[in-house]
Amino acid sequence: MAQQEDLFKKIVSHCKEYGYVFPSSEIYDGLAAVYDYGQYGSELKNNIKTYWWQAMTMLHRNVVGIDSAIFMHPKIWKASGHVDAFNDPLIDNKDSKKRYRADVLIEDYLAKIEEKIDKEVAKGRKKFGDSFDEEQFRQTNPRVLENRKKYDEVHTRFSEAMNIGDFEVLRQLILDCEIVCPISGTRNWTEVRQFNLMFATEMGSTSDSAMKVYLRPETAQGIFVNFLNVQKTGRMKIPFGIAQIGKAFRNEIVARQFIFRMREFEQMEMQFFVRPGEELKWFDYWKNTRLNWHLALGLGEGNYRFHDHEKLAHYANAATDIEFKMPFGFKEVEGIHSRTDFDLKRHEEFSGKKMQYFDPELGENYTPYVIETSIGVDRLFLSLIFGAYAEEPTPNGETRVVMKLPPALAPVKLAVLPLVKKDGLPEKAEEIIEDLRFDFACQMDEKDSIGKRYRRQDAIGTPFCITVDHQTLEDNTVTIRNRDTMEQERVNITELRHIIGESVSMRSLLQKIK
Ligand code: GAP
């Protein structure tokens, strides 16, 4: 555990040191849970968005994209349920005066029990070696069984309380589980209270005419309210989807774990409109399609898992999360929800406008059902950084830090390194960049020893380093070094575009999606 925490800290400082992520307003001591993306971070983020957008809109003929405004009519948030029900249960510790999310305190407690179980299993594996039967061990080991029982009891009470918003039970659970405040170490808790997560501001110039508006807490509602605009102008036939990427804002109380839970973040959401009764078939389709999109990134199948929701929101008839193994455990990166006709019906009710579709094949009108896929750009960014970061020994006995990002998403695709800063080598390097910069994000790197420059590019995650040496001037060849294998090959300059293009193109990544 401590090892994982160390790794987490290292990765956060790596992100800062190498221009990926900076704390917002740093010179003013920062702004909690708000971050800025640096010169490499913003490139990586753009590439993530391109990968998602192209997978959605180019690989699916029946999915189109929109870009709706952040400000929306305030009635939308009444209709969607966010004004009345987008709340977190909060609890304060009377001694430390610190405020916590009651559900997060209990979730952390549950995660600790799971950790204990995993530790027992790891011990068993070590003890029994090859003959270890994990399933049997989990079903028979007394300590595992005891912890599993405790977990199930707390989990059941917790899910029920969350489902019906029973705050007294949440508080009682915190007391029963003897959860202490991490700061004061005491169990001196207040009651649990509701806290709405939406940021509000005013629109309009005079105090009389000003209207209370919200910064959107999700992009999805911009899709719902444009459903008919897109369907009619695009002559879309059901089933079809509308995709959108954009900022969302939530006044998160427990803001921690770096960019995992932010107050300003970005979502990539898609609402897929289907015939009523066909939603569970499409739910399965999008569950698999989205997992395959993640797997194509090559971060390892074992790092992903589905977490099916047992207790569903009142408007959903199926829901799952795609979770990624972060250093702080498996965490949600994407949600896939079968939202029935809840949102369209509510907008119909609140706006007084029909939100129905005429199905020419059935010859009837109906309110479509919706499957939603919703992923946070920042959480995907985080999973990529965690999955890609490695510390490895080099052949000369040193350790290198390397970010093995999928080449198509890497911020810089190639660095051109003149071996020495004289004899016409920098000029030759410039010539290569001058040609390749139309296809790839290139960088010239001529300071420090060649070894140091390799290390620097590895730390950024640049897939290829091209070294220009004296032989280059004689026969127009260079060495091309592969970031992951560290192998070098001598090739003609004219081959570079093809070799690099094969590996770093978005096309090559999109083709990996099964
Ligand atoms: N429209 C459905 C919706 O917004 P959600 O589970 O609340 O569902 C979807 O959010 C995704 O947005 C999450 O899986 C996560 O990746 C991302 N997300 C949500 N809150 C976030 C936050 N505070 N910081 C960063 N990402 C967040």
- Which CATH number does the domain housing residue 417 bear? 3.40.50.800
Q: Kindly report the protein residue whose alpha carbon is nearest to atom 6 of ligand 1.
A: 335
> Is the CB of residue 261 below 6 angstroms from any atom belonging to ligand 1?
yes
120 lines ligand 1 (CB under 6 A): no
| Nearest residue to 176 (alpha-carbon basis) of 194, 150, 142 | 150
348 is in an annotated binding site: no
**Residue minimizing CA distance to atom 18 of ligand 1:** 376
Rounded to an integer, the average pLDDT of 343-367 is: 97
188 alpha carbon – ligand 1 mean position (Å): 31
Q: Is 269 in the pocket of ligand 1 (CB under 6 A)?
A: yes
Q: How many domains does the chain have?
A: 3
- The average confidence (pLDDT) of the chain is 95
Full DSSP string of 172-197: HHHHHTT---TTT----B---EEEE-
pLDDT band, very low/low/confident/very high, at 310 (cuts 50, 70, 90): confident
For residues 443 and 466, give the distance between their C-alpha atoms in angstroms, rounded to a whole number: 10
* Structural domain contains residue 9: no
| Ligand 1, atom 20: closest residue by C-alpha | 261
- What does the pLDDT read at residue 1? 62
Rg for the chain (alpha carbons), in Å?
26
Report the DSSP pairing between strands 63-66 and 240-249: parallel
> Cα(389) to centroid of ligand 1, in Å?
24
Q: Is the CB of 375 under 6 A from ligand 1?
A: yes
What's the length of the chain? 514
Query: In whole angstroms, what is the distance from residue 222 CA to residue 217 CA?
Result: 11
130, 185: one domain: yes
Q: Is residue 495 situated within a structural domain?
A: yes
Domain CATH code at residue 77: 3.30.930.10
pLDDT tens for each residue of 411-423: 999 999 999 999 9
Same domain, 289 and 376: yes
Together in a domain, 361 and 260 = yes
- Give the whole-angstrom CA distance, residue 282 versus residue 274: 8
Residue 276 to residue 366: CA distance in whole angstroms: 8
Q: Is 38 a domain residue?
A: no
State if residue 378 touches ligand 1 by the CB under 6 angstroms criterion.
Answer: yes
Q: Is the CB of 48 under 6 A from ligand 1?
A: no
Do 453 and 419 fall into the same domain? yes
344 with 439, same domain? no
36 part of a folded domain: no
The two structure tokens encoding residue 263: 């107050």
| Domain membership flag for residue 106 | yes
378 has binding-site annotation: yes
311 pLDDT band, cuts 50/70/90, is confident
Cα 288 to ligand 1 centroid, rounded to whole Å: 20
Does 16 reside within a domain?
Answer: no
Mean pLDDT of the 471-500 span = 97
Range of the domain at 460: 394-511
The stretch 179-195 carries a mean pLDDT of 94
162 and 101: one domain? yes
Same domain, 129 and 77: no
Mean pLDDT is lowest, of 124-133, 355-364, 475-484, for 124-133
H/E segment holding residue 331:
strand 329-338
Last residue of a domain, one of 386, 409, 434: 386
Picking from 195, 194, 191, 213, the residue whose alpha carbon sits closest to that of residue 203 is 213
The pLDDT tens digits of the residues spanning 19-39 come to 999 999 999 999 999 999 999
Pair (309, 427) in one structural domain = no
Q: Please provide residue 110's backbone torsions phi and psi, each rounded to the nearest 5 degrees.
A: -65, -40
Burial of 102 (0-12, 13-18, 19+ CB in 10 A): buried
Q: Which of 160, 195, 230 is the last residue of a domain?
A: 195
User: Which phi and psi angles does 316 have, rounded to 5°?
Assistant: -105, 145
Residues 439 and 468 placed together within one structural domain of the fold: yes
* Average pLDDT score over residue span 57-72: 98
446 lines ligand 1 (CB under 6 A): no
Contacts of 116 (CB under 8 A, 6+ apart): 143, 147
This prediction has a pTM of 0.88
Residue type, 68: S
Tell me the pLDDT tens digit for each residue of 362-411.
Answer: 999 999 999 999 999 999 999 999 999 999 998 888 899 999 999 999 99
What is the distance between the alpha carbons of residues 262 and 252, in angstroms, rounded to a whole number?
7
CA 61 to ligand 1 center in whole angstroms:
26
CA dist., res. 160 & res. 155, Å (int):
9
Which two structure tokens, joined as six digits, stand for 21?
Answer: 């992520």
What confidence category does residue 4 fall into, taking pLDDT thresholds of 50, 70 and 90?
A: confident
Helix axes 496-504, 425-436, angle to 10 degrees: 50
Residues 414 and 315 reside in one and the same domain = no
Is 190 among the domain residues? Answer: yes
Query: Pick from 175, 195, 215: which residue ends a domain?
Result: 195
- Ligand 1 atom closest to the Cα of residue 376 is 16
What is the helix (H) or strand (E) element at residue 480, kind and residue range? strand 477-482
272 is in an annotated binding site: no
Q: What integer pLDDT is reported at residue 375 of this predicted model?
A: 98
Parallel, antiparallel or unpaired: strands 414-418 and 63-66: unpaired
Model confidence at 426, in pLDDT bands (50, 70, 90)?
very high
Residue 209 has pLDDT above 80, yes or no: no
Do 399 and 468 sit in the same domain of this protein?
A: yes
**Does the Cβ of 88 fall within 6 Å of ligand 1?**
no
Q: How far apart are CA 162 and CA 177, in angstroms?
A: 16
Is 20 inside a domain boundary?
Answer: no
Confidence of residue 449 (pLDDT cuts 50, 70, 90): very high
Ligand 1 in reach of 379 Cβ (< 6 A): yes
Beta bridge partners of 242: 64, 271
Compute the half-sphere exposure of residue 204: CA atoms within 13 Å on the CB side of its CA.
Answer: 10
The residue among 326, 334, 185 whose CA lies nearest residue 257 is 326
Same domain, 331 and 251: yes
What are the φ and ψ backbone dihedral angles of 95, each rounded to 5 degrees? -85, -45
**Percent of the chain predicted with pLDDT > 90:** 89
137-173 residue pLDDT tens: 999 999 999 999 999 999 999 988 887 878 999 999 9
d(C-alpha 169, C-alpha 57), whole Å: 45
